[in-house]
Every structure is written in C-alpha cells, then in structure tokens.
Copies of this chain bind each other. A is one copy, B any other.
Amino acid sequence: MTIKHEALDRVVIRFAGDSGDGMQLTGDRFTESSALFGNDLSTFPNFPAEIRAPAGTIAGVSAFQVHISDHDILTPGDSPNVLVAMNPAALKANISDLEQGGILIVNSDSFDDRSLSKAGYETNPLTDDSLKRYSVYEIPMTSLTLEATKDTGAKPRDAERSKNFFALGLISWMYNRPYDETINWINKKYENRETVLQSNLAAYKAGHAFGETAELFASNYTVAPAHFEKGTYTNITGNHATALGVVAAGLLSGMQVLLGTYPITPASDILHELSKLKNFNVKTFQAEDEIAGVGAALGASYGGALGVTTTSGPGVDLKSETLGLAISLELPLLLIDVQRAGPSTGLPTKTEQSDLLLAMYGRHGEAPLPVVAASTPSDCFEAVIEAARIAIKYRTPVILLTDGYLANGAEPWLLPDLTKLQPIEPNFSKEFNHENKDGSKSFYPYIRDPKTLIRQMALPGTPGLEHRIGGLEKSNESGAVSYDPLNHELMVSLRAHKIEGIQDDISDAVVDDPTSDAKILLLGWGSTYGSIAAGVRRLRARDKKVAHVHLRHLNPFPKNLETILKKYETVIVPEINLGQLSKLIRSKYLIDAKSFSKVQGVPFKAVEIEKYVLNFVEEN
C-alpha cells in the first residue's frame, strides 16, 4: 500500500483522554510544532477542575482541540475533523462533536469491560456499529507503547504513561509535522529524568513509525504554512500574553510593578509567569487572600508603583471593597479578571463572560471605573497596556476582562513593533500647587486638570508635599475630610465625569461592514471575537450582509458607538452570559439590542452565530 500525500487547507484535531493521560501536553506540543511550521492556528484546551478526577470517568476527561490552517483563522474550530480518544470515557464525552465521516483514532487497548462500564457504555462502541458514521482507526496504543519502550528500563506502569507520545508521534506523522524539532524538545524537557526521556522518545518514534508502516492509513496530509505578514511570531496563550503585557506596561511607564494576588483558576498562570520575571522590575506577592492581594497592589500604587491584581470568579467579589477605596483615593490600579463560569465556585475551568455587570456596578455607592476587554489570546498584550495606560494616567482602578478561553487558548502572535509602543507618563507632582491665605505654599492632592479632571499625585518621599488621603469623602482640591453636602455631590459628579471623559482619549469603534450597507450589526466584546468574526465570514460566504463591531472599551463606550448603532436596523449582541452588554446598550442608547446568549462554559461556534443570524433574517 502506498500512502497518498494530500494537501489540506485546514484541519481541526481534538486529543481527548483521562486527566492523567497528558492530553494537554500532547496538544500543546502539536500546536507548538505547527506554529514553528508556520500554520495559522487556534487552540481550545478543556479540562476538569479536579487535579486528577477518577480515572476512566466522563468527569475525568481532559481534551485539547487545535485548529491549524494555511490561511488565517479565527477560532479553534467548531467540530473536529479528527478525534483521538485514549479511552472509552474520552470517546463518549467527545464523539458527538466529531464531524460526520471524521477520523476517529482510538486506543483500543483501553476498551475493556471495566473501562466501558466506567464510561457508562453498555455495549462496546467499537463493535456495536454505533461509530459507523466515522472512519475509525483502532490502534492498541498501550501495548505498542509498552513494546516500544521495553528497552528503556522504564517499569511497565511508567512506560505506559508515554502513550500520549505515541499518539503525538502518530498524529505528527499524519499531518507531516516537523520531526526533529519535537525530538529536540523532548530531549530538552526531560533532560533530568533519563528513563522518562528515553521512554517518551521511544513512544514518539514508535507512533511516527506506526503511521508510516502500519498500512492502516491510506493517506497523510499536509497543511501548508499560512501566508503571514512579515515579522517574528510566537505562539502564545492569553495568560502568557497578559503577563507580558503587565511587564511591558511597567517598562513603558518606568514604574515598578507589584502583582498582589491569590492563586485561582484560571488566573494563576499570570502569577506563575510574572514570578519568573524578577529582572524586569516586577515583584510578585502571593497574599493571604484576594483582599490582601488587591490591598497590597493599591499600597504599591500609592508608593508610585503600578499595582496589579489578577483573579477570577469569587476572587473578583472579594476585591470590591478595595476597588471602592481606590476610586475614592483616585489611585492607579489594574485588576485583571480572567472570567470563569459562575455563580459561586461554578465551573472553575470553564469560560464565561458573566462579570461585565459586576465590573460596572459591583461596588456600593456611586463608584465608576473604566472597563476594558481583550478579544483574542495575543490581544491580551495590548489590552493590558491600554488598561494600564488609563489606570496610570487617570489615577483610577481599571478592570480588564479576559476569560478562561482566552487564558488557555493559543494563537500565533506577531511580535509588536517596539517603536510603536507609546510610553506612559505617570506625571507625579514634585511641587507645591496651592498658595495658602498667608502666602505660604502647600500641596493640594485633589487639584484637578480642568479638562481631564485628573488629580495631582505626589509620592511619599517627596519633601514638602506630605499630605493625607483616605476613603472618607473629601473636599475637592484640598482633599481634607468634608461632610459638606454640595461638595459630596460635586465629588460624585467629578468622579463620574472623569471616567466618562476618557471617551476623548480612546480609539473609535471600528466597523467591519465591507459594503457599508448591512442591516444587521453583530456587536461583541471579549473572547467572542473569533467566533463572531468567523460566523460573519460564513454569512458573507452565503452573501448575507452583516456588520461586526467588537468593543475594546466597555466603559466608557467609544464616542462613535451611538452613531454606529443607530445606523443598523438590528443589533444582535452574542455573549457567553445572559445578555450583560445588551443590557448596558439598551439602557444607554435605548436601542432594542437583541441578546444572543450561550452559557455552557464553552465559546460560541461560528456555525451557531451563522445559524442565529440566518434564523433571525428568516423570521423577520
């Protein structure tokens, strides 16, 4: 049998197995090698909250989906073309997503009675005809791995754990991924664990060889490199890009960074990344809880550093009170909320966009603050810098919203042109700014720029400018405690106007409406960018006209938003929540924005966007 070589323009592969099976690692490596190969790509890791849920159960299944392509793509793909299922539970949990006629590769060794029943199968799907809609390849990966590794000295129990490398080898062969680079990578990664190294290498090679020699597969495939803009690229997750953005914001402003935080899924990796970067003027502080984390960040900001705090879910709730203090003190502070599915503990490893209204309104009193969102994994880098710029310049806490999907998903990122990154000027006061009645001078911390309403800020250590601030209402200008009713109203309104005024300092919303005559506008924010944009492409491919606006700024909204919205007959707001942005839009612009909501802990599929709009058009 000769093997055909076919060229594909894109393929979506999902690796699925037990939490202990190393699917995330396999997926990551496949992705990385595709990135280095030059494909465009997008990934979607999906794993349980347990460290290691009971082996063999549906709850314990961990999956990693990667979409690689020879042209630019926007999402990890709606349905996989290829599913690798390491055990019955993985099959059961994922098979319904596989496209009709898709390739299903199973580790047949794991389909024994016990595993089948753990997964909830009453009959063996490999033999009961239920999989006939797919091209099924049964491969005894466990035994092949054991066989391949028997000379490495690894005990069978340990050797078996290399079977994900067998799968990686096999799929790498199928899609013609660079071979040597992965060999090098394995060598490096396990350099201090010789037996593991040897056994992983052996399994990887065996998987690769198996594809080539087993005469099982009629073809293998090439997905050619995509045509990227010139430049240097890296493959990056949202959390990683966020961490880099924090470092960059510090360097651009010349401010030391203090990350005050408390571990929580899926935000912890930002802490892990930043704690390695001590030579970039970044300090990390793992506090006793979220309250202390944000408190320390604010204390650092008071001293002239950029205070940053990262969190998710319940952690956001706990920071409300300190955000209120930051608003009253008018100090910079950056809160990065990696949203996850709630309420309460909810689904810690699943994604959601349900903290928008919390970000807007989750503090007692009139306590406005700017809200910014990132739309793709790599976009987190710029979103952080923008959020930090606003925080530093306007002396205000800013909430940056990312989410679990962005956090763990990856895509190629064209490294930014450093000359285009704007410095951020903290503009600390060094001089007296007030003349007292007796002619002497003093420093009034709440004297404001008349246009931007930004207050003056002097750092401890500045001689002569000693002053006291606090969370009690204060006199505008002098900052002294004030119980005066009219002053309170003034301050409430100054704080509100300062935030509203940021409108003048942010970029306009950009409309994607090539023919300028669409009637329907899809308005999105955050991580739905890829799904909506891909949905829009599908619609346009069917000659349906539809416009797309994706918001970076949720508070304040861009100045031109109202005009844009009023141009369209219909505004549809797809969100991974029950319609939070649509509530804000309705209230602000009195537009009958339609909420299209999905709250399943996973992103929209492009096809869902497409269908919703098609239905809508049909019904209206």
Residue ranges of A at the interface with B (Cβ–Cβ < 8 Å): 48-49, 59, 313-314, 316-318, 320-321, 324-325, 327-329, 339, 341-347, 350, 352, 354-355, 357-358, 360-367, 470-473, 481, 483, 485-486, 488-489, 492-493, 495-496, 577-578, 583-584, 586-588, 590-592, 598-602
Contact = CB atoms under 8 A, between A and B. Distances in A.
Which of A343, A470, A481 neighbours the largest number of chain B CB atoms within 10 Å of its CB?
A: A343
A183 to B, nearest CB: 36
Contacts of A471: 344-346
13 contacts: A327-B343, A342-B366, A343-B365, A344-B365, A345-B472, A346-B473, A350-B485, A352-B365, A354-B364, A358-B361, A360-B361, A492-B578, A590-B590
A48 B483 contact: yes
A321 B358 CA distance: 12
Given A346-B328, A347-B472, A363 B364 contact: no
B362 A483 contact: no
Given A321-B317, A489-B598, A346 B365 contact: yes
B366 A362 contact: no
A363 B345 contact: no
A360 B363 CA distance: 11
Contacts of A339: 364
Contacts of A347: 472-473, 483, 488
Q: Shortest 9 CB-CB distances between A and B: which pairs?
A: A342-B365, A344-B471, A485-B600, A587-B587, A343-B365, A328-B344, A345-B471, A343-B367, A317-B320
Given A317-B321, A347-B473, 6 more contacts: A324-B342, A328-B346, A343-B363, A345-B471, A366-B578, A590-B592
A601 B363 contact: no
Given A362-B361, A488-B350, A584-B587, A343 B324 contact: yes
A600 B364 contact: no
B483 A49 contact: yes
Given A313-B364, A320-B317, A360-B361, A341 B473 contact: yes
Contacts of A492: 578, 599
Contacts of A346: 328, 365, 471-473
A366 to B, nearest CB: 5
A362 B317 CA distance: 7
A317 B313 contact: no
Nearest to A365: B342
B344 A355 contact: no
A327 to B, nearest CB: 5
Contacts of A318: 318, 320-321
A328 B354 contact: no
B362 A362 contact: yes
A114 B427 CA distance: 43
Nearest to A323: B317
Contacts of A362: 317, 320, 358, 361-363
A602 B483 CA distance: 11
A324 B344 contact: yes
A447 to B, nearest CB: 20
Given A49-B483, A363-B362, A366-B343, A488 B599 contact: yes
